[in-house]
């Protein structure tokens, strides 16, 4: 298929590297769940999971039913946990397909109790985010059902925390989680596995005493410095091509609201615009052409205009690098995010997700560690 000349270079070896880093931080025996929400953080949900599976991971989290079902088909032996996102009426069909459900409110609890009482599921707790999950006011209904033996399919308990690594944001939430977890374990008479999710919290507190770990975006090397300095981004490069280059009269204004304080002598156009997930308004950032930076002047739906005044040798067909190495000069995903006033996560869910992917390492299993420490 013929497409525009833009692509993302994906490095599956980064997953194995990041697994080694994370396992070096965690106590022995912790089981890692790979989160594949947001279409595998923009990489493609099946592609992302298969990179993890090649390194021995067997447990995955999906953000939506249309992510969970393809994962189920691609990895038939894996455990697939669906985060809250499905209508209660759809839970029986998802359970029948072998998806681990999330029970997160009274409606989903009612569906499991009355429609699929033996469905395998996880209980989601709300420890302060007020977004999905049982808080103290609802938890009594779950405790009562457990004490009566009505929820045999409960396999674990989890929660999501704030993305802040500040202990002040997490200590109170951890205390609430521990309190609720103890109450649930007492009600069912067994040591339910527990998992908390928030990448900054994991990196700041790898010693947390929970059996399961959700490293989220840390597994993909998507953390901003300094917390992510030991992690390797799974996105190795973002590249386009110079489709047009021309000399302009510096006294004439450029279109599309381009900044022209000194009047660029040359401009170029690359086929990458805000349709592809780049910001429609400044700041627009920079790119590398022939190993030298070029500022982006303006952006349209399908294109970006760059200042080629310092690139007299640039010509149509030259590679353009938004992320990656070009003739010894490099731009990282964090550099691009900072230049655009975005987070690396936003770039993944927008730009990375929109562009075709090229896997740069034919063997993602090379150097992968064993499934557990």
pLDDT in tens, 98-153: 999 999 999 999 999 999 999 999 999 999 889 999 999 999 999 999 999 999 99
Please give the Cα distance from 294 to 242 (Å, whole number).
Answer: 12
Q: What is the mean pLDDT of residues 297-309?
A: 95
Angle, to 10 degrees, between the axis of helix 136-147 and the axis of helix 106-114? 10
The answer, yes or no, to whether residue 39 has pLDDT greater than 90, is yes
- Cα torsion 12, 17, 23, 25: sign: negative
- Residue 192, SS3 per DSSP: coil
CB atoms near residue 15 (< 10 Å)? 25
Tokens 């599309």 appear where?
256
Structure tokens given for 271: 């086929």
Region 165-194: mean pLDDT is 89
Interval 58-64 mean pLDDT: 98
Which whole number is the average pLDDT over 73-85? 98
CATH 2.40.37.10 residue spans of the chain: 235-359
Domain 235-359 adopts which CATH fold?
A: Lyase, Ornithine Decarboxylase; Chain A, domain 1 (2.40.37)
Residue with tokens 């925390």: 161
Comparing 168-172, 260-264, 269-273, which segment has the lowest mean pLDDT? 260-264
Confidence label for 199 from pLDDT (cuts 50, 70 and 90) = confident
Location of each CATH 3.20.20.10 domain in the chain? 12-220
Q: What is the bridge-based pairing of β-strands 121-125 and 101-103?
A: parallel
Residue 260 confidence (pLDDT) above 60:
no
Q: Give the neighbor-by-neighbor strand order of the sheet with 34-35.
A: 34-35, 59-62, 79-82
User: What is the per-residue DSSP string for 42-103?
Assistant: TT-HHHHHHHHHHTT--EEEESSHHHHHHHHHH-TTSEEEEPS-S-GGGHHHHHHTTPBEEE
Summarised one tens digit per residue, pLDDT across range 326-372 is: 999 999 999 999 999 999 999 999 999 999 999 986 444 444 543 33
Lowest pLDDT segment from 90-94, 188-192, 226-230: 226-230
Q: What percent of the chain has pLDDT over 90?
A: 81
State phi, psi for 238 to the nearest 5 degrees.
-125, 120
166 versus 283: the higher-pLDDT residue is: 283
What's the 3-state SS for 207-229? CCCCCEEECHHHHHCCCCCCCCC
Q: How many CA atoms lie within 13 A of 282 on its CB side?
A: 9
Q: Which of 149-153, 204-208, 217-221, 354-358 has the lowest mean pLDDT?
A: 204-208
Q: Per the structure block, which two tokens stand in for 297?
A: 């002047």
Would you state the pLDDT for residue 370? Answer: 39
β-bridge mates for residue 293, sequence order: 288
What CATH code would you report for 12-220?
Answer: 3.20.20.10
What percentage of the chain has pLDDT greater than the value 70? Answer: 91
Q: Among the listed ranges 30-44, 194-208, 245-259, which one has the minimum average pLDDT value?
A: 245-259
Q: Could you report the per-residue pLDDT of 143-176, keeping only the tens digit for each?
A: 999 999 999 999 999 999 876 656 667 888 999 9
Stretch 303-323: mean pLDDT: 96
- Check whether 3 has a pLDDT greater than 80: yes
Dist. CA 48–CA 34, nearest whole Å: 9
pLDDT confidence of residue 197 = 85
């Amino acid at each position: 298929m013929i497409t525009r000349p833009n692509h993302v270079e994906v490095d599956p070896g980064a997953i194995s590297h990041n697994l080694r880093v994370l396992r070096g931080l965690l106590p022995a025996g912790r089981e890692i769940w790979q989160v594949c929400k947001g279409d595998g953080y923009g990489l493609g949900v099946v592609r992302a999971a298969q990179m993890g599976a090649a390194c021995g991971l067997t447990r995955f989290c999906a953000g939506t039913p249309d992510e969970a079902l393809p994962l189920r088909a691609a990895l038939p032996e894996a455990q697939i946990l669906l985060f809250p996102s499905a209508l209660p009426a759809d839970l029986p069909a998802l359970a029948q397909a072998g998806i681990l459900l999330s029970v997160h409110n009274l409606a989903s609890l009612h569906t499991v109790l009355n429609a699929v009482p033996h469905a395998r599921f996880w209980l989601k707790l709300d420890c302060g985010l007020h977004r999905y999950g049982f808080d103290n006011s609802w938890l009594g209904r779950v405790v009562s059902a457990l004490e009566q033996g009505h929820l045999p399919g409960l396999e674990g308990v989890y929660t999501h925390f704030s993305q802040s690594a500040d202990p002040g944001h997490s200590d109170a939430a951890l205390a609430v989680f521990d309190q609720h977890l103890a109450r649930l374990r007492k009600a069912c008479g067994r040591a339910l596995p527990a998992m908390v999710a928030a990448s900054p919290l994991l990196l700041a507190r790898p010693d947390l005493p929970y059996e399961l770990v959700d490293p989220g975006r840390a597994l993909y090397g998507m953390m901003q410095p300094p917390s992510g300095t030991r992690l390797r981004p799974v996105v190795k490069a973002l590249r386009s091509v110079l489709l047009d280059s021309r000399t302009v009269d510096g006294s004439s204004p450029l279109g599309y609201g381009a900044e022209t304080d000194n009047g660029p002598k040359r401009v170029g156009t690359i086929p990458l615009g805000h349709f592809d997930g780049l910001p429609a308004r400044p700041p627009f950032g920079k790119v590398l052409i022939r190993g030298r930076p070029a500022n982006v002047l303006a952006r349209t739906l399908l294109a970006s205009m760059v200042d080629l005044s310092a690139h007299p040798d640039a010509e149509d067909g030259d590679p353009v690098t938004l992320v990656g190495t070009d003739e010894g000069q490099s731009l990282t995903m964090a550099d691009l995010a900072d230049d655009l006033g975005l987070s690396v996560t936003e770039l993944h869910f927008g730009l990375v997700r929109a562009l075709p992917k090229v896997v740069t390492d034919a063997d993602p299993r090379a150097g992968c560690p064993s499934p557990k420490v």
